[in-house]
Amino acid sequence: MSKLLVTGGAGFIGSNFVRYVLDNTEHSVTVLDKLTYAANVASLDGLDAQRFSLVKGDVKDAQIVDQLVSEHDAVIHYAAESHNDNSLEDPRPFIETNVVGTYTLLEAVRRFGVRYHHISTDEVYGDLTLDGVERFTEATPYNPSSPYSSTKAASDMLVRAWARSFGISATISNCSNNYGPYQHVEKFIPRQITNILSGVRPKLYGAGENVRDWIHASDHSAAVLQILEHGRIGETYLIGADGQKSNREVIGFILKILGRDKDDFDLVADRPGHDLRYAIDYSKLRTELGWTPRFSDFESGLTRTIQWYESNAWWWSPQKEATETRYASQNTQIRESKTSS
């Protein structure tokens, strides 16, 4: 039984990981979270107070980070500014949290000799051609496109340097696009689900042809736990679930599951620098650590996710108006409505 410090545990993937750990292990968890706009403390409702606690604080705050790191056996670092669109509007918080925050944690784990797992993204590798068959592997060169992905790439490089030069006990995982419960409504899938539930038409960037490789957040959590407990120190592992879908296909599934017309969406201005396709080869994780995803059928995982948003409007509706106000001030005018309504 270990004491885990989970940064960013009040966000989407971090809160899923905390629930996964408490349900499937005997570890205890402390969450360190700044509680930015992206956090929702309700995502941590109902957890066992004997094994779980939440500390409000910034990963850039060396004093609080040192104190907490010194009291735990392992750090799993999820905290980040995570949304590409926001990074195009204002990159500064991304540099501060994703780069300086990671540096602050690395110095603490170095000082106290604590095991560290770094959560990163497939976006550090840039993008793949739309019609190709290649996938990212651990050997793919870094080539990030956005302020968000470049700060994540920078943070990965810091971890590698601290492992090599200072010998910290670190592992890194780079995962593809997650979906599931507790995801902020700014992100693609929950934005479109909650648009439809609010009587607003879904918004597809560009021609909707970009491809993302979807994985359920619960599968991501299982993979991270496996790496934390059995991964080789100093190694990087890619996490994916063979879930490649174009954004149009995803919208098609959501409209079908919610009983709407298949063309009932708007095409809006494209995201600048929009990565075309991501695809993960997770052979290393499968062969070395025996991990495979449980949610292999995207449509059934998506159906469960849609049911969760239908049943939990209390969780997402307080964020919805502010999110859409923010989008309205960005460059997302409707270019084409697929059906007139």
The residues assigned a catalytic role are 122-123, 148
CB-nearer residue toward ligand NAD: 167 or 273: 273
Q: Does 291 bind ligand DAU (CB under 6 A)?
A: no
Q: What does 236 bind: ligand NAD, ligand DAU, none (CB cut-off 5 to 8 Å by kind)?
A: none
* DSSP-assigned letter for residue 101: I
Under the binding rule (CB under 6 A), the answer on residue 38 touching ligand NAD is yes
Phi, psi dihedral angles at 52 (to 5 degrees): -140, 140
Instruction: Choose the stretch contacting ligand NAD; rule: CB under 6 A; options: 30-38, 276-284, 287-295, 333-341.
Output: 30-38
The minimum distance between CB 277 and ligand NAD, in angstroms, equals: 15
Instruction: Return all residues near 265 (Cβ < 8 A) that are at least 6 apart.
Output: 192, 201, 202, 203, 204, 251, 255, 338
Stretch that binds ligand DAU, among 28-36, 41-49, 115-123, 230-238 (CB under 6 A): 115-123
CB 203 within 8 A of CB 260: no
Out of 19, 187, 220, 245, name the contact with ligand DAU by CB under 6 A.
187
Which among 236, 221, 227, 244 is positioned nearest to 290, based on CA atoms?
A: 227
- Residue 178 engages ligand NAD in binding (rule: CB under 6 A): yes
Rounded-to-integer distance, Cα 316 and Cα 128, Å: 33
Stretch that binds ligand NAD, among 11-19, 242-250, 269-277, 296-304 (CB under 6 A): 11-19
CB of 177 to ligand NAD, least distance (A): 4
CB 280 within 8 A of CB 135: yes
Applying the rule CB under 6 A, the residues between 64 and 103 that interact with ligand NAD are 78-82, 97, 101
Residue whose CB is less far from ligand DAU, 247 or 305: 247
Give the integer Cα–Cα distance in Å for 233 and 223.
Answer: 15
Which residue in the shown chain puts its C-beta closest to ligand NAD? 11
- Give the dihedral of Cα atoms 292, 296, 298, 302; nearest 10 deg: -80
Q: Which of residues 236-265 bind ligand DAU (CB under 6 A)?
A: 247
Under the binding rule (CB under 6 A), the answer on residue 151 touching ligand NAD is: no
Backbone dihedral angles phi then psi of residue 266, each to the nearest 5 degrees = -110, 140
**Please, which residues have CB within 8 angstroms of residue 161's CB and are 6 or more apart in sequence?**
none
If the CB atoms of residues 56 and 232 are measured against ligand NAD, the closer one turns out to be 56
The residue type found at 74 is: A
Contact of 173 with 319, CB cutoff 8 Å: no
Choose one: 25-33, 35-43, 117-125, 282-290; the region binding ligand DAU (CB under 6 A): 117-125
Q: Is 131 exposed, middle or buried (0-12, 13-18, 19+ CB in 10 A)?
A: exposed
Which DSSP string do the residues of 262-326 spell out, in sequence order?
TT--EEEPPPTT---B--B--HHHHHHH----S---HHHHHHHHHHHHHH-HHHHHHHHHHHHHH
Examine residue 119 and tell whether it contacts ligand NAD (CB under 6 A).
Answer: yes
Contacting ligand DAU (CB under 6 A), which of 210, 236, 244, 305?
A: 210
- Report helix, strand or coil for 26: coil
Q: Per rule CB under 6 A, is residue 298 in the interface with ligand DAU?
A: no
Give the nearest distance from C-beta 247 to ligand DAU in angstroms: 5
Site residues (vs ligand NAD, CB under 6 A): 7-8, 10-14, 33-36, 38-39, 58-60, 78-82, 97, 101, 119, 121, 152, 175, 177-178, 184
Site residues (vs ligand DAU, CB under 6 A): 82-84, 121-123, 176-177, 187-188, 191, 203-205, 210, 212, 247, 271, 278
